[in-house]
Structure 1
Amino acid sequence: MMRVNEHEITSEVSLCLPNGKLNPKAVGWTRLPLHNTDRIGHGSYGWGRNKRWEYWGITTPAHILALTVSSLDYAAVHEVWVLDRATHESFGSSAVGILGSSVTLPGSISAGPSRAHTAEITIEIDEVPTGTRLRASSTAGSAPVSFDVIAERPAGHEALGVVVPWNSRLFQYTVKDVARPAQGTVTIDGQQFTVPAGESWAVLDHGRGRWPYSMSWNWGAASGVCDGRTVGLQIGGQWTNGTGSTENSILVDGRLHKISEELTWDYDENDWLAPWHIRGELADLTFTPFYDRVSTMNMLVVASNTHQCFGHYSGWVAVEGGERVSVDGLLGWAEAVHNRW
């Protein structure tokens, strides 16, 4: 547990200098997306270290939905995934493309559509007047699956943006946008289900940066209603330690409260469904999983090992003025990831 002194950025700034290195003025956090990241993934500087992605996770009373569109310079990795919460049966597939022929990603957040097209997967992400439209389909796996969801953006809704600097050459800009009200449909093997408004929530993980080859991280997010207020939890660990930046925050009725502290994560790698504990001076959280989504890939140079557990949070997070905001019952996830990429 360690407090950090983080700088809030309130005006537009470029992530990179003209030579491609990190712009020192870009280091900090924002309530709204203010970073221009157009230089990531363009030109020869840092080729092979550039990582760009859009990940959306959607929780509903009956299902959990997820999509990934990503470019790692030398490969593009995409995924469509749906979990039936009652049966724990999952549907969907992933695809790996060589270089970037299967992917379209805007230079900066919301600056254009995101697309992934392979033989088995189609993903289309578009900004619309009420928010973001998420369309995804997979024809592989145990059954064909698709969803069409609007992640609404209420007036005044804030989202955490953070720049994490490892050095002047390697750094990451992330936007974690939690508690977006969601509605739409999901179709599994021809049977359509509702993503019900008022009970469904979308979370965005937007990433643009240049990463070290080997990295581990924790990430947790949850959304819902507690004590009559819309609450979105966003926490992370490992990858930000020692950088002077954190990705910890809580959203209360659309207003972002930054948690400038490195939190301690405690979980059992021999029993992933045992309760997780995430604590600090400003937070005391317990996460109780009901499902462990295990994902592994080993292509020699590129490899990953992921345990993404879904479940419910309890506990509190302290905000300005000392109020402890309850997160009891919030549905979301917590994950432990190690990548070589």
Structure 2
Amino acid sequence: MGGKVTEEQEEALIGEDGRPRFGLYPRPLTRYNLKDFRPYGKKGPPSSARRFWMKYRLKQWQFLGLVNQDLIFGLAVVRLGYLCNLFAYLFERPNRQLFRWDLISPGGKAASFQGTSEKGEILFRKGETQILIRSRPSTIHLTGSIQKGLRVDLTFHREAEPLICLTRIGLKGFNYTHKEAGLPVHGTIAYQDLSLNIEAASAFGVLDYTLGLPGRETFWNWAAGGGRDKQGNRIGFNLVQGINETGFTENAFWVNGRLVKTDVADFRYDDLEPLKPWRIASNDGRVRLCFFPEGARSADIQGGLIISRFRQPFGRFEGTLTDGATLIELDKAAGFTEEHFAKW
């Protein structure tokens, strides 16, 4: 019989056997003890060469988004080991005008990730750009500016139960993700000569924090967003296919912060014209959504051994959710979908 599992072990990403602790968790893991990671099929700790390989294979990012009736905003700090990048965009929904900011920096020095998804800091600094994401158990504070063209000061209130998922990727990889959606957000966004006040009652935030060793070739679809149902309840949702589907999934929705888990999801859309309507449904019938794109951010990278094809439409969601007892009809909901293919 094994000994008693300590609190420290319960909070660790990597178990005592050196392997990731795959599963769903009710709260964020707080020890990213990657130095204890043992490659599949290997005995003992990784060699110095293997640790060097892992450093450049590790993928880590945080995406923060918000939607309301007037705008859709997204920002991400991404570190891929051999390069890091920052992107942000703001979409004015009434006139369908898109503003975007993109920076890529070779190597990993422009972006630093300290701490965890629950309590930590992410900093991207390059030239006149500085973005800081400070995470605490009850809030996420996003501040900074990008190339003097965008200034943000936003607070995301973590009033939703977190979705914490650690899954196997192929035979040797793993992926840890922390998702929350439908969060109240308040603060300011300034760009051009405009300054927008974001009010928590009418804004809905999305969090995606991911850390892992995905496959050399990776594909996924993702959908997330928030809004109100016809009874006025605060709704959020997060759905994916193509990744985090081995043993456990990250598919769920939230009603006034209460997490409702769902089965695997199916995405139907026109790959030649991704701005046509999408259909997204879960296998257990709990999710039946229609997505109507209003715009999109796209980015392609192709250089040497690296290929990335990224499409992130954003717009309006309609449809129904159910927890098995209550049918929830979306009234005013918006958010993001995504198609991403990468060789990295």
Q: What TM-score do the two structures reach when normalised by structure 2?
A: 0.86
Contact preservation (8 Å) 1:224, 1:330: yes
Q: Offset of 1:153 from its aligned partner?
A: 2.1
CA distance in 1, matches of 2:73, 2:272: 26
- Name the larger-Rg structure: 2
Q: Give the match for residue 98 of structure 2.
A: 90
AA partner of residue 276 (structure 1): W
CA distance in 2, matches of 1:281, 1:112: 36
**Partner SS for 2:116:** coil
Q: Give the match for residue 19 of structure 2.
A: 22
Cα deviation code 1:6-52 (max 9, x no counterpart): xxxxx933222467x533xx211123213532427995362322011
2:181 is aligned with 1:178 = yes
2:261 is aligned with 1:264 = no
Q: Offset of 1:55 from its aligned partner?
A: 0.9
CA distance in 2, matches of 1:168, 1:107: 27
AA partner of residue 251 (structure 1): W
Contact preservation (8 Å) 2:228, 2:331: no
- Percent identity over the alignment is 24
Pick one of 253, 263, 283 that aligns with 2:256: 253
Contact preservation (8 Å) 2:119, 2:134: no
* CA separation of 1:59 and 1:106: change in aligned 2, threshold 3 A: same
Contact preservation (8 Å) 1:149, 1:185: yes
By percentage of residues, which structure has more helix? 2
CA distance in 2, matches of 1:17, 1:315: 41
CA distance in 2, matches of 1:274, 1:165: 33
**Partner SS for 1:37:** coil
Q: CA RMSD in A?
A: 2.3
**Stretches of structure 1 lacking an aligned partner (at least 5 in a row):** 1-10
CA distance in 2, matches of 1:191, 1:278: 35
* CA separation of 1:116 and 1:292: change in aligned 2, threshold 3 A: same
Report how many aligned residue pairs link the two structures: 320
2:139 is aligned with 1:131 = yes
Q: Give the match for residue 287 of structure 1.
A: 291
2:318 is aligned with 1:314 = yes
Contact preservation (8 Å) 1:31, 1:256: no
Q: Give the match for residue 244 of structure 2.
A: 240
The correspondence of residues 197-216 of structure 1 with structure 2, limited to 5 A, is 197-216=200-219
Contact preservation (8 Å) 1:40, 1:50: no
CA distance in 1, matches of 2:124, 2:253: 31
Q: Give the match for residue 275 of structure 2.
A: 273
Cα deviation code 1:126-159 (max 9, x no counterpart): 136851111142227xxx12211111123xx301
* CA separation of 1:12 and 1:146: change in aligned 2, threshold 3 A: same
Contact preservation (8 Å) 2:165, 2:248: yes
* CA separation of 1:45 and 1:296: change in aligned 2, threshold 3 A: closer
The correspondence of residues 109-120 of structure 1 with structure 2, limited to 5 A, is 109-120=117-128
CA distance in 2, matches of 1:63, 1:27: 37
Contact preservation (8 Å) 1:95, 1:120: no
Q: What TM-score do the two structures reach when normalised by structure 1?
A: 0.86
AA partner of residue 120 (structure 2): G
